[in-house]
Chain A
Amino acid sequence: MTTFKAPPPPFDPELGAALAAMADFLPSAVTPDMIPAMRDLSAGPRATDDELRRDGRFEIEERAVPGLDGDPDMSLLILRPTAPTGTLGCLYHIHGGGMIFGDNRSGVREILLDWAEEFDLVVVSVEYRLAPETPHPGPVNDCYAGLRWTAEHAGELGFDPDRLIVAGGSAGGGLAAAVALMARDRGGPGLLGQMLLYPMLDDRNNTPSALQMAGLGMWDHTANQTGWGALLGDAAGGPDVSPYAAPARAEDLSGLPPTFIEVGSAETFRDEDIAYASRIWQAGGQAELHVWPGAFHGFDVTVPTAQISQDAKRARVAWLNRLLNA
């Protein structure tokens, strides 16, 4: 598309300093041969059942549910508040990890349970199969099957089916956008909102930001190529990629639920995420877009203490509050 490559925007001072201190652990580029190592690195200390229960404020269940159209069963991590103060909603969470790593406990302990406590939400986090072992459409079909099962079991799980939100970060954000498209196109379930945190939307990997940030920050052009290559093989970047694999490919972005999109100005996904929000507005939809200056991919998780990470987290809570308590 373009070969434009200008100097990158500077990193936020606190994020840049953290990046400098962690340069040895966190490579910008990820190549296919690094996938096993990335899986080890990203695993970290897994959230324990006790941590997820938060002194009994949540009930925890791992439920095996059927895959889509005869696919194998998959696991849903279900966390239910034990003493809700209002009508329960549900946050359906899809973890990140470039389509190639991560599990359904990543990120749950740190953020989701805070929201669940504040807004009376059941959290359901899907353990979808990963690429390259499972290429498209396996991962997104797992996510969609889990979402359908969740909506169909709203009564059993105790939440109001009109208060169902999909959320995810990075690859999980791309998959959340994809299941929102599938829900729109395949007769449900209805969604109250979609929260897309620096989502991975465009397999073409050729926006100005993707090129500008090559070799810098987190999840650069090469890493993105590795992720999309694992999911789509040789089809990545070609003419026939499904919008359910890469939502940026969707011709029509009308009829989507209210959307929250955030992205850093210093990351690969900047331009594709801004474009997705613009196209939702152009299609007559409702979207809230936050571009955090000098933020790299996953900044809030990597440097949760930074001021800009705190500010970004507050913006998400404010959106949830308007969505759920309006």
Chain B
Amino acid sequence: MRDLAVRLAALDAEAGAALQVIAYFDGLVEGRAGLQSIVRGAAVLAGCPARLDDDARRVHIRMLPDGIAAPLPGPADESWPGQPVGTAMLRLERVGPPGPVDAMVLERAAGAAGSVLDRTRGRAPATDPAAVELVVDASAPADVRLHAARRLGLPVDGTAYAVALGSGESRLAAAGTPPPTTRAGIGPAVPLLDLPESHQAARTALRFAAEGTDEDPGETLVHFEELGGLAVLALVPDPAGVPDVRALEHAANAAPWVLTTLHAVASTISMRAAATVLRLHHSTLQDRVEHAEHWLGWSVREPQGRLRLQLALALRRLHRHPS
């Protein structure tokens, strides 16, 4: 008896083939088939290799059209037809014109894979602190670091970035993976062997990340690449000793609203915008800013004074979050 793929090939030109594709993937879902079975179904029915990549969940499955699992030869080619499903991407490794059932296979297989990913791979695997430490240790041998990176599910031929968390932990993530939502510094995306530099940058960025409280207002997530020249301030040995930081602390002690008010003024484009952020009447803000300028000893509404305020706020944060 002829097999399924042969039968489908014979039906290429007919509408019946699409119905069979639907019936096949519905059958897989009903039978609670796993991810390998779904990717295999896509490869067999489309007649070309198929792969499912989910960097966030560290799922990488590739199947050949004869149903055999095959290693990933490299990163996916963006020109292949694909269907996103959550953080994952299902692709057919098709060069040239699409096969007759490609679109239907992609749609049904991605739908089936999505439900299995949610059911069985809902949580990203725990990070391995020892492996992270190895990858970001520039003095460790390259092959050892690459091995550790593979264990962490990082794309061996791709790029990744380091994350320094407020908790003191470090994470590594494939480029394109969403950053955390807690206080963190983010390093630039780099080839895996350059991750020590990304990690150092992430740690620097973390010092500029605020706690987002009245005591420490500001952005909780800071990308090193967006710091620009401000990053140089991280080299200042004793930020608390800078006179403007002492003036800022003096002002902060004078009234509880001073730091949030000054942060709003420094980080918005106008007094009106700052009043909106603070949910204050424009004249109330005017009064507060005049008081604050008095305690600080300089005007924050002139360009020069505004820059001076921004630098003082940054230095104060560096003091609060020492390296």
Contact = CB atoms under 8 A, between A and B. Distances in A.
Q: Do A and B come from one complex?
A: yes
Contact of A304 (B20, B33, B67): B67
Contacts of B290: none
Interface in A33-61: 41-42, 44-45
Contacts of A18: 4, 24, 27
B40 A305 contact: yes
Interface in B1-45: 1-8, 16, 20-21, 23-28, 30-34, 36-37, 40-41, 44
Given A301-B1, A304-B3, A22 B30 contact: no
Most buried by B among A10, A14, A44, A301: A14
Interface in A1-34: 10-14, 16-26
Interface string A167-199: 000000000000000000000000000000000
B41 A17 contact: yes
A20 B23 contact: yes
B1 A20 contact: no
B3 A21 contact: no
Contacts of B226: none
A53 to B, nearest CB: 22
Nearest to B17: A21
A305 B1 contact: no
Contact of A13 (B21, B27, B44, B68): B27
B238 interface: no
B10 to A, nearest CB: 10
B1 A21 contact: no
A224 B23 CA distance: 27
A298 B37 contact: no
Contact of A16 (B2, B4, B30, B34): B30
A302 B4 contact: yes
Interface residues of A, number: 30
A310 B28 CA distance: 18
Contact of B27 (A17, A42, A305): A17
A307 interface: yes
A65 interface: no
Looking at B5, B27, B44, which has the most chain A CB atoms within 10 Å of its CB?
B27
B70 to A, nearest CB: 13
Instruction: Select the residue from B8, B16, B21, B30 with max chain A CB neighbours within 10 A.
Output: B30
Contacts of B30: 16-17
Given A14-B28, A20-B27, A21-B24, A307 B67 contact: yes
Contact of B3 (A12, A14, A305, A310): A305
B105 to A, nearest CB: 12
B24 A20 contact: yes
Nearest to A26: B1
Nearest to B65: A305
Given A20-B23, A21-B24, A14 B2 contact: no
A303 interface: yes
A44 to B, nearest CB: 5
Contacts of B40: 14, 305-307
A18 B25 CA distance: 9
B31 A10 contact: yes
Contact of A301 (B3, B5, B34, B37): B3
Contacts of B6: 44
Given A18-B24, A305-B67, A45 B2 contact: yes
Nearest to B16: A24
Contacts of B77: none
- Those 4 A-B pairs whose CB atoms lie nearest each other, nearest first: A305-B67, A17-B27, A13-B31, A13-B33
Given A13-B31, A21-B4, A21-B20, 15 more contacts: A10-B31, A13-B28, A13-B33, A14-B37, A17-B28, A17-B33, A18-B24, A21-B21, A21-B27, A22-B7, A25-B7, A298-B1, A301-B1, A301-B3, A310-B67
6 contacts: A17-B25, A26-B1, A303-B3, A304-B67, A306-B40, A306-B67
